[in-house]
Amino acid sequence: MRRRMQLASAILVLAILAACDDSALNEFGAEGAQQTTITIDLHDGWIGSPEASTGGSAVEPPGIHVQPHNDITFRVTNMGGGPHAFALYADEAGTEPLASSSLLPPGGSQVVTFHFHDDQIAYFFDDSHREQMRGELYVH
């Protein structure tokens, strides 16, 4: 009887571990991943987003919060008078690219997608105006 209890306990532990295995949610389009759309407006000198938790200016970059296991669709629109491009990076220095748009003319728009699996902070920029045009995406 004791051996059966140990065996049942071991099976239960394995079942729980298998249920917690979220590796199937690692890629964009994975079944069970959340779907989030974020609007990004590229202005001349700043980035704005209705989803941002803080303003949208050179002094206070937008901060957007999303949950992990999330397919993010960025709807990027150039609201400025000059060309702009959205770029998403894994690091604040902008050396580890994750996704980007093409160079958008004034009024141009594009959809950029990326899947966030784990908790992290990602950084987005207009690569030609990084000091003024930046924001942070908090995945938690």
pLDDT for the residue 13: 40
131, 93 Cβ separation under 8 angstroms: no
pTM of the full structure: 0.75
Q: Is 11 exposed, middle or buried (0-12, 13-18, 19+ CB in 10 A)?
A: exposed
Q: Which domains does the chain have, with CATH numbers?
A: 33-139 (2.60.40.420)
Across 51-60, 66-75, 103-112, which has the greatest mean pLDDT?
103-112
Give residue-wise pLDDT tens across range 5-28.
554 454 444 444 344 455 555 666
pLDDT for the residue 19: 43
